[in-house]
Chain A
Amino acid sequence: MTASQNELEAFRAEVSAWMAENKPADPGFLLPQSFMEVSNEQQLEFLREWQHKIWSAGYLGMHWPKEYGGRGMDAVYQSIADQEMRRHDVPIVFNVIGLGWAGPLINHMGTEEEKQRYLKGILSAEDIWCQGFSEPDHGSDLGNAQTRAVRDGEEYVINGSKIWTTMGNYAKYMILLARTNPNTERKYDGLSFFLSPMQADGIETRPIRKITGEYGFTETFFTDARIPASCLMGEEGQGWKIAMQTLQYERGAQAGAAGGLQFVNIVIDDMISQLADVRRDGEAVLDDAVVRDELVKLIMAEKAVTLGDKRSSIPALSSDYPFSLALSHKLRWTEYTRQMRQFAINLQGASGALYVGDDEARQGGFWQRAYFNSFSATIGGGTSQVQANIIAEHVLGLPK
């Protein structure tokens, strides 16, 4: 049954009113702009409380089944709620690995017992989830994961290490990709997928300090760690397939994710609006001819990506270099974002040298921190240079 347009509009108004009413006041410390930036207990508790509040109000996991903490509604309601969260510029929901990866997976292929045990805690923010795919020696080459899982009676014994574990030090559970069989012909066939506890003997995390000086990721070490055999998702050897499946959910509520605003979208308007009082050479920085030229270039770079997304859906205008627009989206957007944030610092004059913690830093050092954090997108998920190789080879047909 599909909801009528009137019902949806009424719902949008309801969410909008709730967000306006309940948007938290500035807590007096910098909030993370993505779930990869949760750096301390203060931020963690703030975000835990905020997610719990949204869920309690009924605006998270709306399309997940009622018996597991959802509302059993059509996903379109969650999409509307997500749009309103973005429009009201509220804080992020932070339990992203649970909401966008583990939760949908459990909903999709978990046993009744797993659904009962895990789903509600994901939505309420009681149980934080993390992801154990990448390894120190195999950054982007997931299929080559070497962490071992050996069956021993009713347990698996895990040995190895994972890196770039988001909130590894706060998480209760991890979705873990580990090798149960080192002797398969195809490296992918030896991998298995686990819903692993994080509080177990032999599992240790070490926070990674980022260029921002903050935390957010850990390294995770497994030393003869024993986890129940029931933690295995599916069957041994299905790990790669299941891991790839989890990547499909993160594209939003319609794809199965629980929803919520997962990152703060920083756009060119945010930068321009902070320049009103900035001076350069004794005049308003927005009157400086060189600055204006650079700003227009950045506006065009942002607009070009948006227009490219539009054009890619028009076959008559996108058949020349098939997949060019789709394959270059990540490269273009993340590189643009990095340059835009870098330029924002450049426009601050002497204040560009101030950092988070200085009470005179512009916007509390927002742009300095945002610039540094932008590298998580130009490096993570395949570096820009790897992306360029992929486009050169797959779109232009250049040799490896």
Chain B
Amino acid sequence: MSVIANTKMRVSDEQSMLLDVAREFCRDKSPIDRVRAELETETGFDAAVWQEMVNLGWTGIALPESAGGSGLGIGAVVPVVESMGRAMLGTPLISTTLAGQLIVRAGGEEMWGDLVAQVAAGSVATIALLDSADWGETRITCELDSDNRLSGTKTFVADAGVAEHLLVVAQRGGEPVVVHLTADQLPEGAIHQHTLIDQTKRSARVSLEGIVVEASQVLAGAAVVDAIRDVRLLGALLVAAEATGSAASCLDTTVDYLKTRKQFGKLIGSYQALKHPAVDILCDVDSARSFVYHAATLVSDTSLGSDAETACRMAKAQASDTLDYAGDRAVQFHGGMGFTYECDAQLYIRRAQWSRQQWGDAQHHRKHLARLLLDAKR
């Protein structure tokens, strides 16, 4: 058996259509001046645009039809998120999508049917996962005691400030549980916004100390363990898709400059010292896109197998490194302009630092890939 193994890639009619629609929507609604206009606002996005995305059904793409979703599977969210990345369009779509996945994969649809329907209909939801800055840590600190009282603090909770629903990953007697909190259950001051390097994103530290929940707000069982594992991989995939889109538009921005800027009497794009790295970035973007759509082909609604795991991790490892390189070179190749806040290169180099760490960086995923690929046959 080759380590290259599964190389399936398909695109469904629905994915293809979503790609077309999302590309056009994001281009229209999120030109770069609109992106800049949201950088310092409280939420980081335009509520009217978000409402249009909800109206297009994007929050329900991967949720079951019984809950008002489209039942197209998480792979169909990939072209939408890629398009958003391309236009640097924020909004809580990734957070909400992943929260929806955590609920249905953990078997919560029966108990929390209303919640799934609300999420499909556009209620913002997010997962409170991290107890520390280590994406690779799987032990859970945050605790739910026998009186259903929470303790601990979650950190890097994406879009916590606008979320109506928080899905808190906690442990009860050492067993992982998912606790559903509504925003009104958080005490005053529980949310502390981080100042993020990527100003198109929002995340916060959330204190859960002393919050008491009803038994009906707690989801436990074997499916929870798998769901948490799967959501980590799907988070990696969606961020990879977004980063791939951002890397492509970063490349376009750089190439435009190389075609117009003259130095020493020549267009700077004619110099091989700039030309060849631009081709390297293009090849990297191509690789990232191939991995992302390969992974989108393999992820299913059921528990993810090792081929899907491999594909998600490769997508994230490639896309993180690709955007990192593209953003870094975008600043350098814009020369003095590139060093200014005014130059759009800053948006991409900042996005790169965000995407890099989200759901684990490239080294983290390669470490797990080594386990999957190199240890299986020994």
Contacts and interface: CB of A to CB of B under 8 A. Distances in A.
Interface stretch (A56-64, A88-96, A145-153, A321-329): A321-329
Contacts of A289: 367
A297 interface: yes
Interface stretch (B115-123, B142-150, B274-282): B274-282
Nearest to A268: B3
Contacts of B19: 316
B363 A398 contact: no
A272 B4 CA distance: 12
21 contacts: A267-B2, A289-B367, A292-B366, A292-B367, A295-B373, A302-B4, A303-B4, A304-B286, A308-B287, A308-B290, A311-B286, A314-B11, A317-B289, A324-B286, A328-B283, A388-B275, A391-B279, A391-B282, A392-B269, A399-B267, A399-B270
Nearest to B266: A399
B378 A307 contact: no
A398 B278 CA distance: 9
Q: Which 3 A-B pairs have the closest CB atoms?
A: A307-B290, A304-B287, A292-B370
A303 B7 contact: yes
B374 interface: yes
B16 A316 contact: yes
Contacts of B293: 311, 317
Interface of B: 2-4, 7, 9-11, 15-16, 19, 248, 255, 258-259, 266-267, 269-270, 272, 275-276, 278-279, 282-283, 286-287, 289-291, 293-294, 314, 317-318, 363, 366-367, 369-370, 373-375, 378
A166 to B, nearest CB: 30
A276 interface: yes
Contact of A398 (B10, B258, B289, B367): B258
B106 to A, nearest CB: 30
Interface size bucket, A side? 35 or more
Given A385-B276, A400-B270, A317 B2 contact: no
Contacts of A97: none
A398 B373 contact: no
Given A304-B318, A316-B19, A388 B279 contact: yes
Majority secondary structure, A binding face: helix
A300 B282 CA distance: 16
A5 to B, nearest CB: 23
Interface string A63-101: 000000000000000000000000000000000000000
Contacts of A400: 270
B76 to A, nearest CB: 13
Contacts of A310: 7, 9, 290, 294
Nearest to A298: B3
Contacts, number: 132
A267 B279 CA distance: 24
Contacts of A316: 11, 15-16, 19
Interface in A257-304: 267-269, 272, 276, 286, 289, 292-293, 295-297, 299-304
A332 interface: yes
A399 B16 contact: no
A331 B266 CA distance: 27
A276 B248 contact: no
B304 to A, nearest CB: 18
A293 B363 contact: yes
Nearest to A300: B314
B279 A296 contact: no
A299 B3 contact: yes
Contacts of A304: 286-287, 290-291, 318
A190 B136 CA distance: 67
Contacts of A332: 283
B3 A321 contact: no
Nearest to B293: A317
A252 B287 CA distance: 27
A392 B11 CA distance: 28
Nearest to A310: B9
Interface string A85-121: 0000000000000000000000000000000000000
B283 to A, nearest CB: 5
A363 interface: no
